[in-house]
A and B are shown apart, each in its own frame.
Chain A
Amino acid sequence: MSKISDAFLKEKAFIAFVTGGDPTLDMTVELVVGMAEAGADIVEIGIPFSDPIAEGEVIQRANLRALDAGASVVGIFDAVRRIRKRTRVPIVFLTYLNPVFRYGYDEFFAECADAGVDGIIVPDAPFEEQGEFKPFARKHGVDVISLISPTSEGRIAKIAAEADGYIYLVSSMGVTGVRSSISADVPGIVASVRRASNAPVAVGFGISTPEQACGISRVADGVIVGSAIVKIVEEHGEDSLAPVKDYVRTMKRALSKGI
């Protein structure tokens, strides 16, 4: 068991996402620590990328804000080290492959281990292409978290059997972003995963309300929220810590106590 899968042991996990360096790296440190205090069981930090092809408009804008503000891979590692002095919450990077490739796979995952990053999600590296970096991630004890989508029919067993950390179940077609309804057959896909693996299943893409989170948690082990949090950061900037913590508390309460 890794530190990440341990986070699912007690109750339904709330996984919170922020884009690293949006609006500043100092704020990223405060937001991650604050979200952990407010009940987030795992925090995903997005490494900003110039061309985030799997993201909707909200996180695209966050990527650009972060890059404009000078966020860098090196800076984000430094932020993680600062976070690690204040919380033990499992940290997962969400990054496109190119920044990792350019850094060098061995060097990148060694740095993850040293800074205290527990896992990585690479939205443009499907199962078939993970082979080139997964051995380095495993060598340094970093979980590679795989995505399963509504169109993954026939691939679920293979992906789930190899899963580290948790399975990231993409609940909607398209890119990230808040949606009023969740279209995919989440219970059906979760059942397929369960047949192939003991890995916890967390559901993301489109979730923003306590009601959605509570509904999803009846079938899944956790809920991932990104765009809704990033939107609060976009609206409140340097003053976003309090509203983000309030939001995380509300979502976590919906998961642990129901609505």
Chain B
Amino acid sequence: MSNDKGRFGQFGGQYIPETLMNEVLRLEKEYDRYSKDLEFQRELTGLLNNYAGRPSLLYFAEKMTRDLGGAKVYLKREDLNHTGSHKINNVLGQALLAKKMGKTRVIAETGAGQHGVATATAAALLGLECEIFMGKEDTERQALNVFRMRLLGAEVHTVTSGTMVLKDAVNETMREWTRRVDDTHYIIGTVMGPHPFPAMVRDFQSVIGKEARKQILNAEGKLPKAVVACVGGGSNAIGSFHAFLGDGDVRLIGCEAAGKGIGTGKHAATITTGEVGVFHGMKSYFNQDCEGQIAPVYSISAGLDYPGIGPEHAFLHEVGRAEYVAITDEEAVSAFEYIARTEGIIAAIESSHAIAYAVKLAPEYEKDDSIIVCVSGRGDKDVAAIARYRGVDIHE
């Protein structure tokens, strides 16, 4: 019989070393208490509104809409948040909670560096010590963000174990948490890990969809045909989807990284090609071999370069409530360039996976329909990598 606490159907759970169990159980209890605490909610809303710049715009991309010739395209502009991505929503929530729990130090993994920067920012603001773990390959792909984190007072550890990317950064951060759990909170950056993380991070990110739902009803007087978001671990997607879960006619579409193509094996498309497994504290879908070894994954986007997906996404996929599609590097880079030229927005390469799918989707609908695309982050960090992809050598 499986433990049904913190489950989304068969997915989720608390598959972690005994050393962390009491801490995770305490976190569960404290989160439950503070999520119902009006003073905590007021403080968090204050930070989100007055520090992070919420609510974020729901921007009508008129030129893009005209060009695609179908549904009106609305962009949920998480890129305009302080620190440049949706990551700040979750980080402010967890950092505030950590402080209430009496923690003096926070640690976090980062892939693209967005979550690391957001964590370092919140730590600076709230007076917490901060250490970030980042795969060696990512510290090279995202050198600017490494320096940004250091500017904010964080210590950045280069992870050289395993494949030296996001999954290995998670491994190392978990190991560090087991070494020093008494004064330290692990701010997991996405809707993964042991319960309560997937539910807690979802709650902190669900502000995206709550705002968007109100904004689209104001603008259009009706719900959109679809909500589209990119999926690595899946935090901006679950945040975008959650307010629409009960709206059965609204399609929820997550865009995974197909890298160099599903057929090449060089991708990070977990739902498309993964199998159910247990890893990083949760039961979910993972890219793995037939004996359960976690497979190396690849994406041009460091933020989507992860072999798993949050358990709630696995559940939404299994019950058919959400759809998951795979977008290649080439499609994402083209979308990155397209939205820059068309709308004057430099979107993160992660978000560009969602934009790429929206470009295909919009023409399928009528002119008085709408779709919402989450622009989860801004793309300044990706400019050098895109240049390299196109064969232009620039120095950051």
Contacts and interface: CB of A to CB of B under 8 A. Distances in A.
A129 B2 contact: yes
B194 to A, nearest CB: 9
- Counting chain A CB atoms within 10 Å of each CB, the highest count among B13, B21, B23 belongs to B21
A103 B291 contact: yes
Contact of B278 (A54, A101, A131, A151): A101
A257 interface: no
Nearest to A60: B161
A123 B293 CA distance: 16
B179 interface: yes
A50 interface: yes
Interface in B247-306: 275-281, 286, 288, 290-294
B142 interface: no
A240 to B, nearest CB: 23
B18 interface: yes
A243 interface: no
Contact of B277 (A53, A54, A102): A102
B334 interface: no
A174 B179 CA distance: 4
B17 interface: yes
B22 to A, nearest CB: 5
A155 B21 contact: yes
B22 A124 contact: no
B90 to A, nearest CB: 22
Contact of A53 (B14, B174, B275): B174
Given A131-B3, A150-B19, A175 B278 contact: no
Interface in A36-81: 49-51, 53-54, 56-57, 60, 64, 67, 72-74
A173 to B, nearest CB: 6
B22 A154 contact: yes
A60 to B, nearest CB: 6
Contacts of A146: 18
A53 B290 CA distance: 20
A170 B19 contact: yes
Contact of B290 (A102, A170, A175): A102
A50 B178 contact: no
Nearest to B195: A128
B21 A152 contact: yes
Interface in A85-114: 96-103
Interface in B118-174: 161-162, 167-168, 171, 174
A64 B296 CA distance: 13
Contacts of B178: 54, 173-175
A100 B14 CA distance: 17
B322 interface: no
A96 B335 CA distance: 40
- Main secondary structure on B side of the interface with A: mixed
Nearest to A146: B18
Given A53-B175, A102-B292, A173-B179, A128 B22 contact: no
Given A129-B15, A150-B19, 18 more contacts: A49-B292, A53-B174, A67-B293, A72-B291, A73-B291, A97-B15, A98-B288, A98-B294, A99-B291, A101-B276, A102-B277, A126-B14, A129-B3, A147-B17, A154-B22, A170-B18, A173-B180, A174-B180
Nearest to A98: B292
A147 B18 contact: yes
B279 A98 contact: yes
Contacts of A125: 15
Contacts of B288: 98, 102
A217 to B, nearest CB: 22
Interface residues of B, number: 40
Contacts of A131: 1-3
Contacts of A208: none
Q: How many interface residues does chain A have, given as a range?
A: 35 or more
A149 B167 contact: no
B181 interface: yes
A151 B175 contact: no
B101 interface: no
A151 B291 contact: no
A99 B15 contact: no
Contact of A151 (B23, B167, B171): B23
A126 B180 contact: no
A135 B171 CA distance: 29
B390 interface: no
A235 interface: no
A49 B181 CA distance: 24
B386 interface: no
**Among A53, A72, A125, A147, residue most surrounded by chain B Cβ atoms (within 10 Å):** A53
A162 interface: no
Nearest to A102: B292
B18 A127 contact: yes
A203 interface: no
B162 A51 contact: yes
A126 B291 contact: no
A25 B167 CA distance: 28
A173 B5 CA distance: 26
B277 A98 contact: yes
A132 interface: yes
A255 interface: no
A185 interface: no
B16 interface: yes
Given A101-B277, A131-B2, A151-B181, A50 B18 contact: no
A126 B175 contact: no
A2 B175 CA distance: 33
B288 to A, nearest CB: 7
Nearest to A61: B161
Nearest to A132: B2
